[in-house]
A and B are shown apart, each in its own frame.
Chain A
Amino acid sequence: MHVPRFWREIPNRYNLIGTKCNHCNKVFFPPRAICPNCRRVGNLEPCKLEGKGKVLSFTVVHVAPQDFKDQVPYVLAIIELKEGPKLMAQVTDCDPDEVEIGAEVEITFRRIKEDSEEGIIHYGPKAKLLRSKPSEQT
Protein backbone atom coordinates (compact mmCIF):
# COMPACT_ATOMS: atom_id res chain seq x y z
CA MET A 1 0.00 0.00 0.00
CA HIS A 2 1.47 3.33 -1.02
CA VAL A 3 2.31 6.06 1.46
CA PRO A 4 -0.49 8.60 0.84
CA ARG A 5 -3.17 5.92 1.03
CA PHE A 6 -1.72 4.58 4.25
CA TRP A 7 -1.30 7.98 5.95
CA ARG A 8 -4.90 8.94 5.23
CA GLU A 9 -6.10 6.03 7.39
CA ILE A 10 -3.77 6.66 10.33
CA PRO A 11 -6.11 8.67 12.60
CA ASN A 12 -8.77 5.94 12.51
CA ARG A 13 -6.36 3.02 12.67
CA TYR A 14 -4.25 4.34 15.56
CA ASN A 15 -7.05 5.63 17.70
CA LEU A 16 -9.76 3.05 16.97
CA ILE A 17 -12.12 5.78 15.93
CA GLY A 18 -15.20 4.49 14.13
CA THR A 19 -18.41 6.27 13.30
CA LYS A 20 -21.81 6.15 14.97
CA CYS A 21 -25.16 6.80 13.29
CA ASN A 22 -27.13 9.37 15.29
CA HIS A 23 -30.40 7.93 13.97
CA CYS A 24 -30.16 4.18 14.63
CA ASN A 25 -27.14 4.34 17.02
CA LYS A 26 -25.26 1.66 15.10
CA VAL A 27 -21.48 1.88 15.40
CA PHE A 28 -19.21 1.26 12.42
CA PHE A 29 -15.57 0.28 12.45
CA PRO A 30 -13.82 0.50 10.05
CA PRO A 31 -15.62 3.87 9.75
CA ARG A 32 -18.33 4.40 7.18
CA ALA A 33 -19.50 7.71 5.71
CA ILE A 34 -23.09 6.53 5.13
CA CYS A 35 -25.24 4.38 7.42
CA PRO A 36 -26.56 1.52 5.24
CA ASN A 37 -29.70 1.32 7.42
CA CYS A 38 -30.67 5.00 7.45
CA ARG A 39 -28.74 6.44 4.48
CA ARG A 40 -29.64 10.14 4.20
CA VAL A 41 -31.76 10.20 7.38
CA GLY A 42 -28.81 9.40 9.62
CA ASN A 43 -25.70 11.44 10.32
CA LEU A 44 -22.48 9.70 11.19
CA GLU A 45 -20.31 11.07 13.96
CA PRO A 46 -16.87 9.95 15.11
CA CYS A 47 -16.99 7.36 17.86
CA LYS A 48 -14.05 6.16 19.94
CA LEU A 49 -14.01 2.44 20.64
CA GLU A 50 -12.69 0.86 23.81
CA GLY A 51 -10.89 -1.95 21.99
CA LYS A 52 -12.27 -4.92 23.91
CA GLY A 53 -13.86 -7.82 22.08
CA LYS A 54 -13.91 -11.53 21.36
CA VAL A 55 -12.78 -13.88 18.61
CA LEU A 56 -15.60 -14.82 16.21
CA SER A 57 -13.40 -16.93 13.95
CA PHE A 58 -9.71 -17.37 13.19
CA THR A 59 -7.27 -18.99 10.81
CA VAL A 60 -3.56 -19.72 10.97
CA VAL A 61 -1.99 -18.37 7.79
CA HIS A 62 0.84 -20.55 6.46
CA VAL A 63 1.08 -19.18 2.92
CA ALA A 64 1.36 -15.40 2.92
CA PRO A 65 1.97 -12.57 0.49
CA GLN A 66 5.52 -11.17 0.16
CA ASP A 67 5.07 -8.44 2.79
CA PHE A 68 3.99 -10.98 5.43
CA LYS A 69 6.31 -13.86 4.60
CA ASP A 70 8.61 -13.30 7.56
CA GLN A 71 5.65 -13.61 9.93
CA VAL A 72 4.20 -17.05 9.04
CA PRO A 73 2.55 -18.83 10.64
CA TYR A 74 0.38 -16.02 11.99
CA VAL A 75 -3.13 -15.99 13.39
CA LEU A 76 -5.71 -13.88 11.62
CA ALA A 77 -9.06 -13.39 13.34
CA ILE A 78 -12.37 -11.64 13.05
CA ILE A 79 -12.91 -9.77 16.28
CA GLU A 80 -16.33 -8.63 17.46
CA LEU A 81 -15.87 -5.46 19.50
CA LYS A 82 -17.96 -4.76 22.59
CA GLU A 83 -19.66 -1.82 20.84
CA GLY A 84 -20.84 -4.12 18.01
CA PRO A 85 -18.57 -3.63 15.00
CA LYS A 86 -16.23 -6.34 13.78
CA LEU A 87 -12.75 -6.05 12.38
CA MET A 88 -10.05 -8.26 11.01
CA ALA A 89 -6.79 -8.37 12.91
CA GLN A 90 -3.86 -10.61 13.65
CA VAL A 91 -3.77 -12.13 17.11
CA THR A 92 -0.32 -11.36 18.47
CA ASP A 93 1.95 -12.53 21.31
CA CYS A 94 0.52 -16.02 21.46
CA ASP A 95 0.95 -19.56 20.34
CA PRO A 96 -1.55 -20.30 17.53
CA ASP A 97 -2.87 -23.20 19.61
CA GLU A 98 -4.00 -20.81 22.33
CA VAL A 99 -6.53 -19.04 20.11
CA GLU A 100 -10.12 -20.26 20.18
CA ILE A 101 -13.52 -18.97 19.15
CA GLY A 102 -14.95 -16.89 21.98
CA ALA A 103 -11.55 -15.93 23.42
CA GLU A 104 -11.51 -12.39 24.82
CA VAL A 105 -9.06 -9.97 23.31
CA GLU A 106 -7.90 -6.39 23.52
CA ILE A 107 -6.82 -4.32 20.52
CA THR A 108 -3.29 -2.94 20.68
CA PHE A 109 -1.13 -1.15 18.13
CA ARG A 110 1.78 -2.93 16.59
CA ARG A 111 3.97 -3.16 13.55
CA ILE A 112 1.89 -4.75 10.79
CA LYS A 113 4.51 -5.10 8.09
CA GLU A 114 7.39 -3.51 6.32
CA ASP A 115 6.38 -2.46 2.85
CA SER A 116 8.67 -4.18 0.37
CA GLU A 117 8.03 -1.51 -2.27
CA GLU A 118 8.25 1.67 -0.21
CA GLY A 119 10.42 0.42 2.63
CA ILE A 120 8.18 2.09 5.22
CA ILE A 121 6.96 0.31 8.32
CA HIS A 122 3.19 0.13 8.69
CA TYR A 123 1.54 0.09 12.09
CA GLY A 124 -2.03 -0.88 12.85
CA PRO A 125 -4.36 -2.81 15.14
CA LYS A 126 -3.56 -6.28 16.41
CA ALA A 127 -5.46 -8.30 18.99
CA LYS A 128 -3.94 -9.58 22.24
CA LEU A 129 -5.46 -12.45 24.17
CA LEU A 130 -6.75 -11.46 27.60
CA ARG A 131 -5.48 -14.49 29.39
CA SER A 132 -7.16 -13.99 32.75
CA LYS A 133 -10.76 -14.38 31.68
CA PRO A 134 -13.31 -12.87 34.09
CA SER A 135 -14.68 -16.36 34.79
CA GLU A 136 -11.27 -17.52 35.96
CA GLN A 137 -10.79 -14.56 38.28
CA THR A 138 -13.71 -15.48 40.47
Chain B
Amino acid sequence: MRRVALVGVGQTKFGELWDTSFRQMIIEAGTRAIEDAGMEGEKIGAMYVGNMSAGQFIHQEHIASLIADHSGLAPIPCTRIEAACASGGLALREAMIAVGSGIHDIVVAAGIEKMTDVIAEQSLEALATVSDQEWEAFVGATFPALFALMARRHMHEFGTTEEQMALVAVKNHHNARLNAYAQHHIEITVDQVLQSPPICSPLKMLECASITDGAACVILAPLEEARKYTDTPIEIVGAGQASDTIALHDRQSLVNLRSTREAAKAAYQMAGLRPEDVDLAEVQDSTTISEIIAIEDLGFCKKGEGGKVTEDGMTAIDGALPINPSGGLKGKGHPIGATGISQAVEIALQLRGEAGKRQVKNAEIGLTHNIGGSGGTAVVHIFRRQD
Protein backbone atom coordinates (compact mmCIF):
# COMPACT_ATOMS: atom_id res chain seq x y z
CA MET B 1 0.00 0.00 0.00
CA ARG B 2 1.16 3.55 -0.76
CA ARG B 3 1.80 5.82 2.23
CA VAL B 4 -1.02 8.34 2.67
CA ALA B 5 -1.06 11.81 4.25
CA LEU B 6 -3.49 14.57 5.14
CA VAL B 7 -2.66 17.69 3.10
CA GLY B 8 -5.64 19.90 3.86
CA VAL B 9 -8.21 20.19 6.65
CA GLY B 10 -11.27 22.34 7.30
CA GLN B 11 -14.49 22.44 9.24
CA THR B 12 -17.49 24.62 9.96
CA LYS B 13 -18.24 26.03 13.36
CA PHE B 14 -20.13 23.40 15.37
CA GLY B 15 -23.39 24.42 17.00
CA GLU B 16 -27.04 25.10 16.38
CA LEU B 17 -26.64 26.57 12.92
CA TRP B 18 -30.24 27.64 12.34
CA ASP B 19 -29.37 29.88 9.41
CA THR B 20 -27.16 27.41 7.54
CA SER B 21 -28.32 24.54 5.35
CA PHE B 22 -26.86 21.06 4.89
CA ARG B 23 -25.56 22.08 1.45
CA GLN B 24 -23.94 25.27 2.70
CA MET B 25 -22.26 23.44 5.57
CA ILE B 26 -20.55 20.79 3.46
CA ILE B 27 -19.42 23.39 0.91
CA GLU B 28 -17.98 25.59 3.66
CA ALA B 29 -15.97 22.73 5.22
CA GLY B 30 -14.82 21.52 1.80
CA THR B 31 -13.76 24.95 0.60
CA ARG B 32 -11.70 25.50 3.76
CA ALA B 33 -9.92 22.17 3.31
CA ILE B 34 -9.16 22.86 -0.36
CA GLU B 35 -7.87 26.35 0.46
CA ASP B 36 -5.79 24.88 3.29
CA ALA B 37 -4.19 22.50 0.77
CA GLY B 38 -3.77 25.30 -1.77
CA MET B 39 -5.20 22.93 -4.33
CA GLU B 40 -7.41 23.21 -7.40
CA GLY B 41 -10.68 21.31 -7.11
CA GLU B 42 -9.91 19.57 -10.43
CA LYS B 43 -7.24 17.50 -8.66
CA ILE B 44 -9.82 15.67 -6.56
CA GLY B 45 -10.48 12.13 -7.76
CA ALA B 46 -13.11 10.87 -5.34
CA MET B 47 -15.02 11.69 -2.20
CA TYR B 48 -16.28 9.71 0.81
CA VAL B 49 -18.85 11.30 3.10
CA GLY B 50 -19.73 10.10 6.59
CA ASN B 51 -23.35 10.81 7.45
CA MET B 52 -25.57 8.96 9.86
CA SER B 53 -29.04 9.97 8.94
CA ALA B 54 -29.86 12.81 6.59
CA GLY B 55 -33.00 10.75 5.97
CA GLN B 56 -34.25 11.25 9.52
CA PHE B 57 -32.77 14.69 10.21
CA ILE B 58 -33.46 16.54 6.94
CA HIS B 59 -35.56 13.96 5.09
CA GLN B 60 -32.99 13.69 2.33
CA GLU B 61 -31.28 10.51 1.16
CA HIS B 62 -28.87 10.15 -1.75
CA ILE B 63 -26.70 12.85 -0.28
CA ALA B 64 -23.58 11.60 -2.09
CA SER B 65 -25.02 12.85 -5.36
CA LEU B 66 -26.26 16.04 -3.74
CA ILE B 67 -22.81 16.81 -2.34
CA ALA B 68 -20.88 15.99 -5.54
CA ASP B 69 -23.37 18.14 -7.42
CA HIS B 70 -23.44 21.20 -5.17
CA SER B 71 -19.72 21.21 -4.42
CA GLY B 72 -19.13 21.40 -8.18
CA LEU B 73 -17.15 18.15 -8.08
CA ALA B 74 -19.50 15.99 -10.19
CA PRO B 75 -18.80 13.72 -12.09
CA ILE B 76 -16.21 12.35 -9.60
CA PRO B 77 -17.39 9.32 -7.62
CA CYS B 78 -18.88 10.24 -4.25
CA THR B 79 -19.85 7.60 -1.69
CA ARG B 80 -21.82 7.98 1.52
CA ILE B 81 -20.75 5.88 4.50
CA GLU B 82 -23.02 5.10 7.44
CA ALA B 83 -21.99 3.55 10.76
CA ALA B 84 -23.91 5.71 13.25
CA CYS B 85 -21.48 7.99 15.14
CA ALA B 86 -18.50 6.27 13.46
CA SER B 87 -19.62 7.29 9.96
CA GLY B 88 -16.92 9.97 9.69
CA GLY B 89 -14.12 7.71 10.90
CA LEU B 90 -15.12 5.06 8.38
CA ALA B 91 -15.22 7.62 5.57
CA LEU B 92 -11.64 8.57 6.46
CA ARG B 93 -10.62 4.92 6.43
CA GLU B 94 -12.18 4.29 3.01
CA ALA B 95 -10.52 7.42 1.63
CA MET B 96 -7.17 6.20 2.96
CA ILE B 97 -7.66 2.80 1.36
CA ALA B 98 -8.59 4.45 -1.96
CA VAL B 99 -5.40 6.53 -2.02
CA GLY B 100 -3.26 3.76 -0.57
CA SER B 101 -4.40 1.28 -3.19
CA GLY B 102 -3.53 3.65 -6.02
CA ILE B 103 -7.08 3.74 -7.39
CA HIS B 104 -7.22 7.48 -6.73
CA ASP B 105 -4.57 10.09 -5.95
CA ILE B 106 -6.36 12.95 -4.25
CA VAL B 107 -9.40 11.95 -2.19
CA VAL B 108 -11.69 13.95 0.08
CA ALA B 109 -13.02 12.46 3.32
CA ALA B 110 -15.87 14.50 4.73
CA GLY B 111 -18.47 14.18 7.45
CA ILE B 112 -21.69 16.05 8.07
CA GLU B 113 -24.82 16.04 10.18
CA LYS B 114 -27.59 18.64 10.26
CA MET B 115 -29.47 17.76 13.45
CA THR B 116 -31.43 20.90 14.37
CA ASP B 117 -33.85 20.97 11.46
CA VAL B 118 -36.06 18.67 13.56
CA ILE B 119 -37.25 19.19 17.14
CA ALA B 120 -35.17 17.80 20.00
CA GLU B 121 -37.50 14.84 20.59
CA GLN B 122 -37.17 13.72 16.99
CA SER B 123 -33.39 13.99 17.27
CA LEU B 124 -33.49 11.76 20.34
CA GLU B 125 -35.57 9.21 18.46
CA ALA B 126 -33.30 9.36 15.43
CA LEU B 127 -30.32 8.77 17.73
CA ALA B 128 -32.04 5.78 19.34
CA THR B 129 -32.09 4.05 15.93
CA VAL B 130 -28.36 3.34 16.31
CA SER B 131 -29.30 0.76 18.95
CA ASP B 132 -30.99 -2.59 18.35
CA GLN B 133 -34.54 -1.53 17.48
CA GLU B 134 -36.17 -4.85 18.35
CA TRP B 135 -34.51 -5.60 21.68
CA GLU B 136 -33.15 -2.29 23.02
CA ALA B 137 -35.18 0.66 21.73
CA PHE B 138 -38.35 -1.46 21.89
CA VAL B 139 -38.12 -1.74 25.69
CA GLY B 140 -37.35 1.97 26.19
CA ALA B 141 -33.57 2.25 25.77
CA THR B 142 -32.22 5.61 24.64
CA PHE B 143 -28.70 6.37 23.43
CA PRO B 144 -27.58 7.84 26.81
CA ALA B 145 -29.24 4.90 28.62
CA LEU B 146 -26.79 2.47 27.02
CA PHE B 147 -23.81 4.44 28.31
CA ALA B 148 -25.51 4.86 31.69
CA LEU B 149 -25.65 1.05 31.97
CA MET B 150 -21.91 0.91 31.26
CA ALA B 151 -21.26 3.72 33.76
CA ARG B 152 -23.15 1.99 36.58
CA ARG B 153 -21.25 -1.24 35.97
CA HIS B 154 -17.90 0.59 35.79
CA MET B 155 -18.66 2.27 39.13
CA HIS B 156 -19.60 -1.13 40.58
CA GLU B 157 -16.50 -2.99 39.37
CA PHE B 158 -13.82 -0.32 39.80
CA GLY B 159 -15.18 2.25 42.23
CA THR B 160 -15.27 4.96 39.56
CA THR B 161 -17.07 7.98 41.04
CA GLU B 162 -19.61 10.45 39.68
CA GLU B 163 -17.09 13.21 40.49
CA GLN B 164 -14.44 11.53 38.29
CA MET B 165 -16.92 11.26 35.44
CA ALA B 166 -17.94 14.91 35.93
CA LEU B 167 -14.27 15.91 35.60
CA VAL B 168 -14.26 14.63 32.00
CA ALA B 169 -17.00 17.13 31.12
CA VAL B 170 -15.29 19.92 33.07
CA LYS B 171 -12.00 19.35 31.22
CA ASN B 172 -13.60 19.11 27.80
CA HIS B 173 -15.63 22.27 28.33
CA HIS B 174 -12.44 24.03 29.44
CA ASN B 175 -10.65 22.92 26.25
CA ALA B 176 -13.61 23.92 24.06
CA ARG B 177 -13.29 27.50 25.29
CA LEU B 178 -9.96 27.61 23.49
CA ASN B 179 -11.48 26.36 20.21
CA ALA B 180 -13.28 28.91 18.04
CA TYR B 181 -15.11 26.11 16.19
CA ALA B 182 -16.60 24.62 19.35
CA GLN B 183 -20.30 24.68 20.20
CA HIS B 184 -19.87 25.45 23.91
CA HIS B 185 -17.72 28.25 25.26
CA ILE B 186 -18.62 28.12 28.92
CA GLU B 187 -16.54 26.74 31.76
CA ILE B 188 -18.45 24.35 34.00
CA THR B 189 -17.69 23.06 37.48
CA VAL B 190 -17.96 19.58 38.99
CA ASP B 191 -20.84 20.80 41.17
CA GLN B 192 -22.72 22.13 38.15
CA VAL B 193 -22.33 18.78 36.41
CA LEU B 194 -23.47 16.82 39.47
CA GLN B 195 -26.46 19.11 39.97
CA SER B 196 -27.58 19.17 36.35
CA PRO B 197 -30.85 17.32 35.66
CA PRO B 198 -30.65 13.52 35.48
CA ILE B 199 -30.92 12.05 31.97
CA CYS B 200 -30.34 8.36 32.69
CA SER B 201 -28.82 7.79 36.11
CA PRO B 202 -25.96 8.02 36.89
CA LEU B 203 -25.53 10.26 33.80
CA LYS B 204 -26.68 13.85 34.03
CA MET B 205 -27.38 16.47 31.39
CA LEU B 206 -23.93 18.04 31.49
CA GLU B 207 -22.35 14.59 30.90
CA CYS B 208 -23.97 13.93 27.53
CA ALA B 209 -22.95 15.45 24.20
CA SER B 210 -25.52 17.83 22.79
CA ILE B 211 -27.39 18.02 19.50
CA THR B 212 -25.14 19.75 16.99
CA ASP B 213 -24.91 20.83 13.36
CA GLY B 214 -21.54 20.67 11.67
CA ALA B 215 -19.39 19.50 8.82
CA ALA B 216 -15.69 18.68 8.54
CA CYS B 217 -13.40 17.75 5.69
CA VAL B 218 -9.87 16.45 5.13
CA ILE B 219 -7.93 15.95 1.90
CA LEU B 220 -5.71 12.91 1.43
CA ALA B 221 -2.82 12.49 -0.98
CA PRO B 222 -0.03 9.97 -1.51
CA LEU B 223 2.76 10.92 0.93
CA GLU B 224 5.26 11.20 -1.94
CA GLU B 225 3.15 13.98 -3.49
CA ALA B 226 2.06 15.60 -0.25
CA ARG B 227 4.70 18.33 -0.22
CA LYS B 228 3.17 19.88 -3.32
CA TYR B 229 0.30 20.94 -1.07
CA THR B 230 1.71 21.36 2.42
CA ASP B 231 4.99 21.90 4.27
CA THR B 232 3.85 19.56 7.03
CA PRO B 233 2.18 16.40 5.73
CA ILE B 234 0.39 14.46 8.44
CA GLU B 235 0.80 10.81 7.57
CA ILE B 236 -1.84 8.25 8.50
CA VAL B 237 0.52 5.61 9.86
CA GLY B 238 -2.06 3.29 11.39
CA ALA B 239 -5.70 2.42 10.82
CA GLY B 240 -7.96 -0.20 12.37
CA GLN B 241 -11.65 -0.93 12.32
CA ALA B 242 -13.68 -3.52 14.21
CA SER B 243 -17.27 -4.60 14.86
CA ASP B 244 -19.09 -5.97 17.89
CA THR B 245 -22.68 -6.90 18.75
CA ILE B 246 -25.11 -4.09 18.02
CA ALA B 247 -26.94 -4.73 21.31
CA LEU B 248 -25.12 -3.86 24.50
CA HIS B 249 -26.64 -6.79 26.41
CA ASP B 250 -25.06 -9.29 24.02
CA ARG B 251 -21.52 -8.23 24.95
CA GLN B 252 -19.31 -10.29 27.21
CA SER B 253 -18.46 -7.22 29.25
CA LEU B 254 -20.18 -3.90 29.98
CA VAL B 255 -16.97 -2.17 31.05
CA ASN B 256 -14.89 -2.47 27.92
CA LEU B 257 -15.50 -2.24 24.21
CA ARG B 258 -14.07 -5.15 22.26
CA SER B 259 -14.47 -3.13 19.05
CA THR B 260 -12.21 -0.35 20.39
CA ARG B 261 -9.62 -2.85 21.58
CA GLU B 262 -9.53 -4.70 18.26
CA ALA B 263 -9.45 -1.53 16.16
CA ALA B 264 -6.66 -0.11 18.34
CA LYS B 265 -4.67 -3.34 18.15
CA ALA B 266 -4.81 -3.26 14.35
CA ALA B 267 -3.87 0.43 14.20
CA TYR B 268 -0.93 0.10 16.62
CA GLN B 269 0.29 -2.95 14.72
CA MET B 270 0.13 -1.22 11.34
CA ALA B 271 1.93 1.84 12.75
CA GLY B 272 4.51 -0.19 14.64
CA LEU B 273 3.72 1.94 17.68
CA ARG B 274 2.53 1.39 21.23
CA PRO B 275 0.06 3.36 23.37
CA GLU B 276 2.94 5.04 25.22
CA ASP B 277 4.21 6.52 21.92
CA VAL B 278 1.03 8.57 21.46
CA ASP B 279 1.35 12.28 22.32
CA LEU B 280 -2.34 13.20 22.24
CA ALA B 281 -5.69 11.71 21.29
CA GLU B 282 -9.18 12.71 20.29
CA VAL B 283 -11.53 10.03 21.64
CA GLN B 284 -15.26 9.50 21.59
CA ASP B 285 -16.73 11.18 24.67
CA SER B 286 -20.40 11.02 23.69
CA THR B 287 -20.83 10.72 27.45
CA THR B 288 -18.29 11.18 30.24
CA ILE B 289 -18.00 7.44 30.89
CA SER B 290 -17.30 6.89 27.18
CA GLU B 291 -14.01 8.80 27.47
CA ILE B 292 -13.01 6.90 30.61
CA ILE B 293 -13.67 3.53 28.97
CA ALA B 294 -11.97 4.66 25.74
CA ILE B 295 -8.68 5.68 27.34
CA GLU B 296 -8.57 2.32 29.12
CA ASP B 297 -9.33 0.30 25.99
CA LEU B 298 -6.79 2.30 23.95
CA GLY B 299 -4.12 1.27 26.45
CA PHE B 300 -3.45 4.73 27.90
CA CYS B 301 -4.04 3.45 31.43
CA LYS B 302 -4.99 0.18 33.14
CA LYS B 303 -8.57 -1.10 32.94
CA GLY B 304 -10.56 0.51 35.73
CA GLU B 305 -8.18 3.44 36.25
CA GLY B 306 -9.68 5.81 33.66
CA GLY B 307 -11.48 7.80 36.33
CA LYS B 308 -8.45 8.02 38.55
CA VAL B 309 -6.02 9.20 35.84
CA THR B 310 -8.58 11.84 34.81
CA GLU B 311 -8.70 13.04 38.41
CA ASP B 312 -4.89 13.10 38.51
CA GLY B 313 -4.77 15.42 35.47
CA MET B 314 -3.15 13.02 32.99
CA THR B 315 -5.69 13.90 30.29
CA ALA B 316 -5.53 17.72 30.55
CA ILE B 317 -3.90 19.75 27.75
CA ASP B 318 -0.77 20.13 29.89
CA GLY B 319 -1.01 16.58 31.25
CA ALA B 320 1.08 13.54 30.32
CA LEU B 321 -1.39 12.45 27.63
CA PRO B 322 -3.85 15.18 26.57
CA ILE B 323 -7.26 13.74 25.60
CA ASN B 324 -9.70 15.79 23.54
CA PRO B 325 -7.83 19.10 23.44
CA SER B 326 -10.45 20.24 20.88
CA GLY B 327 -13.14 20.03 23.55
CA GLY B 328 -14.24 16.59 22.40
CA LEU B 329 -17.81 15.70 21.57
CA LYS B 330 -18.94 17.20 24.87
CA GLY B 331 -17.41 20.65 24.46
CA LYS B 332 -16.93 20.98 20.71
CA GLY B 333 -20.27 19.35 19.85
CA HIS B 334 -21.23 16.06 18.22
CA PRO B 335 -22.67 16.40 14.72
CA ILE B 336 -22.76 12.61 14.34
CA GLY B 337 -21.34 12.00 10.86
CA ALA B 338 -18.87 14.91 11.13
CA THR B 339 -17.29 13.83 14.42
CA GLY B 340 -14.77 11.29 13.07
CA ILE B 341 -13.48 13.77 10.48
CA SER B 342 -13.38 16.67 12.92
CA GLN B 343 -11.18 14.55 15.21
CA ALA B 344 -8.69 14.17 12.33
CA VAL B 345 -8.85 17.93 11.67
CA GLU B 346 -7.87 18.60 15.29
CA ILE B 347 -5.01 16.09 15.27
CA ALA B 348 -3.66 17.62 12.03
CA LEU B 349 -3.76 21.14 13.50
CA GLN B 350 -2.07 19.94 16.69
CA LEU B 351 0.69 18.03 14.90
CA ARG B 352 1.36 21.02 12.64
CA GLY B 353 1.61 23.29 15.68
CA GLU B 354 -1.39 25.37 14.56
CA ALA B 355 -3.75 24.75 17.47
CA GLY B 356 -3.29 28.16 19.08
CA LYS B 357 -4.15 28.46 22.77
CA ARG B 358 -4.95 24.75 23.07
CA GLN B 359 -1.66 23.63 21.46
CA VAL B 360 -0.23 20.46 22.97
CA LYS B 361 3.54 20.84 23.37
CA ASN B 362 5.91 18.71 21.27
CA ALA B 363 3.17 16.70 19.60
CA GLU B 364 4.39 14.35 16.89
CA ILE B 365 2.03 11.37 17.08
CA GLY B 366 -1.75 11.67 17.50
CA LEU B 367 -4.61 9.19 17.64
CA THR B 368 -8.32 9.38 16.84
CA HIS B 369 -10.96 7.02 18.21
CA ASN B 370 -14.49 7.02 16.82
CA ILE B 371 -17.25 4.56 17.76
CA GLY B 372 -20.72 3.90 16.40
CA GLY B 373 -23.71 3.44 18.70
CA SER B 374 -22.76 1.83 22.00
CA GLY B 375 -19.65 0.30 20.37
CA GLY B 376 -20.98 -1.93 17.59
CA THR B 377 -18.39 -0.25 15.35
CA ALA B 378 -15.05 1.29 16.26
CA VAL B 379 -12.36 2.89 14.14
CA VAL B 380 -8.92 4.10 15.23
CA HIS B 381 -6.40 6.12 13.23
CA ILE B 382 -2.84 7.03 14.18
CA PHE B 383 -1.20 10.11 12.63
CA ARG B 384 2.45 11.18 12.52
CA ARG B 385 3.93 14.49 11.49
CA GLN B 386 6.40 14.21 8.58
CA ASP B 387 8.74 17.22 8.75
Where the two chains meet, the residues of A that have a C-beta atom closer than 8 Å to any C-beta of B are: 1, 5, 9, 30, 56-66, 68, 71, 73-74, 76-79, 86-90, 96, 101, 112-113, 122, 124-126
Contacts and interface: CB of A to CB of B under 8 A. Distances in A.
Contacts of A78: 149, 248-249, 254
A61 B254 contact: no
Contacts of A125: 139
10 contacts: A1-B133, A9-B134, A59-B202, A60-B198, A62-B199, A63-B124, A71-B140, A78-B254, A101-B152, A112-B139
B308 interface: no
A62 B200 contact: yes
Given A5-B134, A101-B156, A76 B145 contact: yes
For the complex of A and B, the 7 pairs showing the least CB-CB separation, nearest first, are: A59-B148, A57-B153, A60-B201, A86-B249, A59-B200, A57-B149, A68-B140
A90 B140 contact: yes
B152 A87 contact: no
Contacts of B152: 57-59, 101
A78 B139 CA distance: 11
B138 A63 contact: no
B121 interface: yes
A88 B135 contact: yes
Nearest to A125: B139
Interface string B171-210: 0000000000000000000000000011111110000000
A17 B94 CA distance: 40
Interface of B: 121, 124-125, 128, 133-142, 144-145, 148-153, 156, 197-203, 247-250, 254
A63 B142 contact: yes
Nearest to A65: B125
Contact of B124 (A57, A60, A65, A77): A65
A129 B248 CA distance: 22
Contacts of B250: 86
A61 B200 contact: yes
A62 B254 CA distance: 21
Contact of A58 (B124, B137, B149): B149
Contacts of A9: 134
A64 B121 CA distance: 9
A13 to B, nearest CB: 9
A58 to B, nearest CB: 6
A126 to B, nearest CB: 8
A122 B249 contact: no
A87 B250 CA distance: 7
Contacts of A87: 135, 249
A73 B199 CA distance: 10
A112 to B, nearest CB: 6
Contact of B140 (A30, A76, A79): A76
Contacts of B156: 57, 101
Pick from B136, B139, B142, B149 the residue with the most CB of A within 10 Å: B139
Contact of B128 (A30, A65, A76): A65
Given A88-B141, A112-B140, A59 B135 contact: no
Contacts of B135: 30, 87-88
B136 A61 contact: no
A62 B198 contact: yes
B84 to A, nearest CB: 17
Contact of A63 (B141, B199, B248): B199
Contacts of B249: 78-79, 86-88
B139 A89 contact: yes
Given A65-B128, A88-B247, A112 B142 contact: no
A64 B140 CA distance: 7
A74 B199 contact: no
Nearest to B205: A63
Contacts of A58: 149, 152
B168 to A, nearest CB: 18
